[in-house]
Structure 1
């Protein structure tokens, strides 16, 4: 009989031989207590020594009590979404712990996230993380690790992506089955963000164990760098329209610069007409008086006022990046006493 304690660690692999020893060593060192754990690895057509490394570590992991499942295919890679789906399909654990082949688990990860999943069965469980090397992506790391539990479910439209990073995800198989498999379009597809949004659409929640449970490695070959930025922008924009702009009569874009104007130009025409103003603190931009949308087919061309943030009217779509102004933007926003996702939404 299958135990309710069964966990499956899901690892998609592609040309990861340089990092797999550290990754698998960290798994072998997991504190499992009474948990039964299987390691499910799917190799997505690696051309390096990845499979040899995994086979070498199999008896080591089995000696530590892990059930080890290894499969894969030769030929061109089919993408990380496909590899994750295959790894999940061949596994049997009632709980899924996602792990990237170039990262390392902290010893208590499985137990802490399993316990959190029991308490929050409708949530994707994440954790805090540390970067390797430590000085890489400082702003992103600070943002992800400092979000409040409430903000984990609010700041889902920023360019940072999911509010808990994919390599820290943990959830029940029931939750995964309810949301559906990862997108398999392949290279350039943000399969984690697509899954994340589908989960939220089904009223799913996000929860984070507030301990560092992962070493998140930063290197030029990581999958993140192959993601198509325009695909991510379009996903975010579609969600912004559906959950906010479609419910607001009008709104202000906070940022009269490059990102604010890009948002304005990207909006469908009916939503561009709802933009009452841009707001900013830059006196040069404010002195321009208006932003004129030169590429519009309308005559006369739309002219959108540029005003100081203190005279602008909410709700706001905020296109200002956090932690770039030594706290001035955050101070200005806080001074207005607004409610996040009611009076403003972060789209930075």
Structure 2
């Protein structure tokens, strides 16, 4: 008999955290579930741990593999391999609260108009031992507030973006929208894109309860994530998708909205790229374009002027600077800077 819920856990490393994630699912009050562990080019120790679990609970836990490296590809593999009507995601470094599956199933099962259920989360330390923030609520992305400012639906039914480990949805709905877009791999914004396409199909509901423990990153991990060039590139990819769905040359208000989004992302890209070797000229081009797109945003002008000061006074993304100045990919150059996020 097929399970009601398939819990999908992609993993790449850290067997101890994976062990905690699986254990948290096995302790659910709702028992009609399966666990699909997705090996995504994992370390051997994590794979060995997954094998132990799948052999110990063969009726409950299955191990599958996705050879293409990436969050979207791994989640898509899990969706395709799942047997349940409903799907719950859990990242391998996070943990479920015992009532998570029950609460989200109750929220979704009798409401066909809802496409995605999320929840609040508790933020815990990287070692998982210390509660840092309780009941952290999903927020409305800034780009969505700009883009849908005059949208009547958005005013009544805003777009919240829940943490991926709280995603709960019908398998059928995910397949209908094309699941995750693997062009975002290895990661960054694949979850944002998925949430938006779910929102285009129906309602997103947030359960007002913390249903997972979200493990925060170490300082080293956070520094890497902040200065990951792929994040910038994927913003460009997502921007092109937004244009394809919503941009209209005949709508002055829509042009203004896209100018504001582009301006913000150009500035945010500039204050990261300047910390790479050879990034100063590229960053100044990006900031000039940010000012041209939205000359009312004083942050653009402030950042541009500070780039002419000593580097100790440059703006810092999330108040951080990298320990060493990295090397930009060859395709991140002045020509790229002139066309990135163009309308």
- Please say whether Structure 1 and Structure 2 have the same fold, judged by a TM-score greater than 0.5: yes
Provide the rounded CA distance (Å) in 2 between the counterparts of 1:26 and 1:41.
14
TM-score by length of structure 1 reads 0.61
RMSD: 4.7
Q: 2:236 aligns with which of 234, 237, 246?
A: 234
1:194-220 Cα deviation digits (max 9, x unpaired): 3223323x4332111110011111225
Provide the rounded CA distance (Å) in 1 between the counterparts of 2:296 and 2:143.
26
1:256-285 Cα deviation digits (max 9, x unpaired): 9984997xx879x9x99986x515599x97
Q: How far has the Cα of 1:59 moved from its partner?
A: 6.0
Which structure features the higher share of strand residues? 1
Residue 84 of structure 2 corresponds to 93
Q: How far has the Cα of 1:182 moved from its partner?
A: 1.8
Asked if the contact 1:152–1:164 (Cα under 8 Å) also holds between the matched residues in 2, the reply is: no
Q: 1:49 aligns with which of 45, 52, 59?
A: 45
Provide the rounded CA distance (Å) in 2 between the counterparts of 1:37 and 1:143.
26
Provide the rounded CA distance (Å) in 2 between the counterparts of 1:23 and 1:43.
14
The runs of 5 or more residues in structure 1 that have no matched partner are: 286-290, 292-320, 322-348
1:50-86 Cα deviation digits (max 9, x unpaired): 1221233346656xxx62111226xx75222222122
Q: How far has the Cα of 1:119 moved from its partner?
A: 4.2
Provide the rounded CA distance (Å) in 1 between the counterparts of 2:134 and 2:110.
26
The structure that has the greater radius of gyration is 1
Q: How far has the Cα of 1:98 moved from its partner?
A: 0.5
| 2:48 partner SS | helix
1:182-261 pair list within 5 angstroms: 182-185=180-183, 186-200=185-199, 202-220=200-218, 225=225, 228-235=230-237, 237-238=239-240, 241=243, 243=246, 246=249, 247-249=251-253, 251=256, 259=267
Provide the rounded CA distance (Å) in 2 between the counterparts of 1:43 and 1:258.
36
Of 93-102 and 219-228, more deviation after overlay is shown by: 219-228
1:249-288 pair list within 5 angstroms: 249=253, 251=256, 259=267, 278=296
| 1:41 partner SS | strand
1:208-245 Cα deviation digits (max 9, x unpaired): 11100111112258799367222343245446655377
Asked if the contact 1:127–1:168 (Cα under 8 Å) also holds between the matched residues in 2, the reply is: yes
Provide the rounded CA distance (Å) in 2 between the counterparts of 1:256 and 1:177.
33
Residue 120 of structure 2 corresponds to 128
1:115-152 Cα deviation digits (max 9, x unpaired): 11124433211110111219x9xxxx89961648xx89
Provide the rounded CA distance (Å) in 1 between the counterparts of 2:221 and 2:179.
22
Provide the rounded CA distance (Å) in 2 between the counterparts of 1:256 and 1:23.
36
1:20-59 pair list within 5 angstroms: 20-32=18-30, 35-58=31-54
| 1:112 partner SS | helix
1:94-124 Cα deviation digits (max 9, x unpaired): 0000011110000110000111112443321
1:16-51 Cα deviation digits (max 9, x unpaired): 31311211111111111xx51011111112123112
1:270-326 Cα deviation digits (max 9, x unpaired): x99986x515599x97xxxxx9xxxxxxxxxxxxxxxxxxxxxxxxxxxxx9xxxxx
| 2:37 partner SS | strand
Q: How far has the Cα of 1:91 moved from its partner?
A: 1.6
Change (3 A) 1:222 1:198: farther
1:314-325 pair list within 5 angstroms: none
Asked if the contact 2:118–2:166 (Cα under 8 Å) also holds between the matched residues in 1, the reply is: yes
Q: Kindly tell me the number of residue pairs found equivalent between the two proteins.
A: 267
Which structure features the higher share of helix residues? 2
Q: 1:180 aligns with which of 178, 183, 201?
A: 178
Asked if the contact 1:81–1:183 (Cα under 8 Å) also holds between the matched residues in 2, the reply is: yes
